[in-house]
Structure 1
Amino acid sequence: MSHKSILVHLANDDEHQTRLDVALRLAKQNNAHISALFITTPVGMPVEVYGRGASVQYLLDATKSAENRADELEKEFKDICHRENISHNWIVEEGDHISLLADHAHAADIIIVSQPTFEHFEDRFRTRLVEEVTLLSGLPCLMIPRGFDASKDIGKRMMVAWKGTREALRAVRDNLDSLRKAEKVFLLTIQPETEDALSLSEVRNYLKRHEIEAETVKIAQTENSIGQTIQDAATAQSCDVIVCGAYGHSRLREMLLGGVTKHLVKEATIPVIMSH
């Protein structure tokens, strides 16, 4: 992957070290700059639920714990960046995670976030971070699955989930450099129809003009969901990342993802790059 300015979301949650390790590895591989944004406000307590049982003392204690972790992580981060000669900056802020990430997105090429969990009531709010950052930031969003091994490759074998839409084309354009550097690129279509055949041919030729040879994979939809079919196809081709459009819409000022994207956000077992 070759995005030159990486914004990584950090907080005092279980997956923050993995996100940072992935960002450091990608920056080292691609001579990229890292902006590490550590947000001390509890990631599981967004503004919408502040008045619903979240005590002032809980928030104070959680924020203080996050501040302490930020101090520890800052030293580790800066030591690694200096040792590896990685361009970087470290930011600590308090507030709404989505708003702060959107504010800092203007100086980045890609945002790294974690796949949310779905075990507790609060998790329904955590999912908004992936959804809204993807839909509102204007940047591709690299979602790292839970429990991911940060030493694994990302971007050597890439699966593009193609559909003849603006979002899918945006995902391709957002990742042209990464696709060009990949060892293998697959262009996946599910249940291709006659009207989609031309757009598939066009996008393959478009990639060729950018020196990207993509192998077309056509799959008839099975009883599985489209999201699961995408995952299965990526697994069958030993892909290490899925590139897809994030299909969403606004309803009463709430940003919502479509069913396929929601499935990947919830169930993906390899990293996913989403663009809207």
Structure 2
Amino acid sequence: MAYRRLLLPLTGTASGEAALNAALHVAQIYDAHVHCLHVRIDARDVAPLAGEGLSGAMIEEMMAATERESGQRADRVKDLWTRFVAGRDVTLAESAEAAMKAPGATLSFQSIAGREEDIVAQQARLYDLVVVPHPEAGEDVSSSDALHAVLFDSGRPVLMAPRETPPVIGDRVCVAWNGTAQSATSINEALPWLHRAKAVAILHGPEYQRRGPEASGIQTYLRWHGIEAETISFSPQTREVGAGLLGASRDFGADLLVMGAYSHSRLRQLILGGVTRHVLENADIAVQMCR
């Protein structure tokens, strides 16, 4: 089992280089291809605002400003890409067919115009795994359009890279189990990691558990796949269950946390906080999620 095609949406944020490094690291493990995709803002998307009482001149100015901003962001992304590949011993592929024929890890880059959340979600359906940059420090995770587009609309797992490039991903893996369909899906999608991991732990706890099988059930499931995992019960030190989950991962020395995302509605998570949101904003290791 392996991840063969990875998609990396690039937006020019400070975390972009760490995400590139993480994606390349995964590709080198599985001899996979990483397609880096930058979606430029389409200035024509502001045209519908004409029906909101704005004059034609105001709409044209907004479109011009949007075009300038889009161009500046595209330049930052292209500069990031150029710096990243310079001097690296990695194959750049011009097409999917060329990538399939090349040995080892391969990279490609594409920049297109459109709505980022739509294009990323649609393209992600053709990939095994989508790598996204970590939200910027202090940034509300709800503003990450690419992240939520993948989680809610692609049917694919998303790997959130840590803010700083990790030396290794996938040697010591924690899987968060609460009995939900989301946690079951996340573990199934993470089987390539679990098969090659040196150590696997199932994190569970009464405050985290929902209606569904207990941790012993998923432990038996993994044994059927030839994966031995220990079970670790955790209790949050504060009211934040997500903090307890991250603390248990640190205690285990994990370099990857696998978990289901948004088992409550996203609206409820945004209003009340929630485990998913806390982990997304505070994790310092790679986190792979499914919904």
User: Which category describes the TM-score, using the shorter chain as reference length?
Assistant: 0.7 to 0.9
Change over 3 Å in CA distance of 1:58–1:202 after alignment to 2: same
2:105 maps to 1:82: no
Match 1:104 to one of 107, 123, 129? 123
* Greater Rg by CA: 2
Specify whether residues 195 and 29 from structure 1 end up closer, same or farther in structure 2 by C-alpha distance, changes over 3 A only.
closer
Say which is worse superposed, 221-230 or 25-34, in terms of deviation. 221-230
Distance 1:59 1:108, change over 3 A: same
Q: TM-score, normalised by structure 2?
A: 0.78
Distance in 2 of aligned mates of 1:159 and 1:208: 16
Deviations 1:112-137 (A, max 9, x none): 112223646xx565234323321221
CA shift, 1:88, in A, is 3.7
Q: Distance in 1 between matches of 2:6 and 2:220?
A: 29
- SS of 2:214's equivalent? helix
Distance 1:82 1:270, change over 3 A: same
Moved more, 211-220 or 64-73: 64-73
Contact 2:202 2:229 in 1 (8 A): yes
Q: Secondary structure at the match of 1:94?
A: strand
Q: Which residue of 2 aligns with 1:235?
A: 250
Question: 266, 271, 276: which is aligned to 2:286?
Answer: 271
CA distance in 2 between partners of 1:244 and 1:170 (Å): 9
CA contact (8 A) 1:38 1:91 kept: yes
Task: Give the AA of the match of 2:287.
Answer: V
The answer to whether structure 1 residue 3 and structure 2 residue 3 are counterparts is yes
Cα distance in 2 for partners of 1:111, 1:56 equals: 31
Note if contact 2:35-2:107 (Cα within 8 Å) is conserved in structure 1: yes
- Of the three residues 209, 218, 242, the one matched with 2:224 is 209
Could you tell me which of 214, 238, 252 is aligned with 1:223? 238
- Aligned sequence identity (%): 26
Counterpart CA distance in 2 for 1:103 and 1:193 is 32
More moved, 95-104 vs 257-266: 257-266
Give 2:73's match in structure 1, choosing from 63, 66, 71.
66
Question: What SS does the aligned partner of 2:41 have?
Answer: coil
Cα distance per residue 1:103-158 (max 9 Å; x no partner): 211210111112223646xx565234323321221111111233x124x2111100
Q: Which amino acid aligns with 1:15?
A: S
3-state SS in 2 of match to 1:89:
strand
Q: Which residue of 2 aligns with 1:174?
A: 189
The separation in 1 between residues aligned to 2:16 and 2:172, in whole angstroms, is 25
- The TM-score with structure 1 as length reference comes to 0.82
Superposed CA RMSD in Å reads 3.4
Please point out which of 109, 116, 130 is paired with 2:135.
116
**Residues 27-46 of structure 1: pairs in structure 2 closer than 5 A:** 27-41=27-41
Partner of 2:147: 130
SS of alignment partner, residue 284 of structure 2: coil
Q: Does the 8 Å CA contact 1:160/1:187 hold for their aligned counterparts?
A: yes
Unaligned runs of 5+ in 1: none
Instruction: Verify the 8 A CA contact 1:5 1:109 in the aligned structure 2.
Output: yes
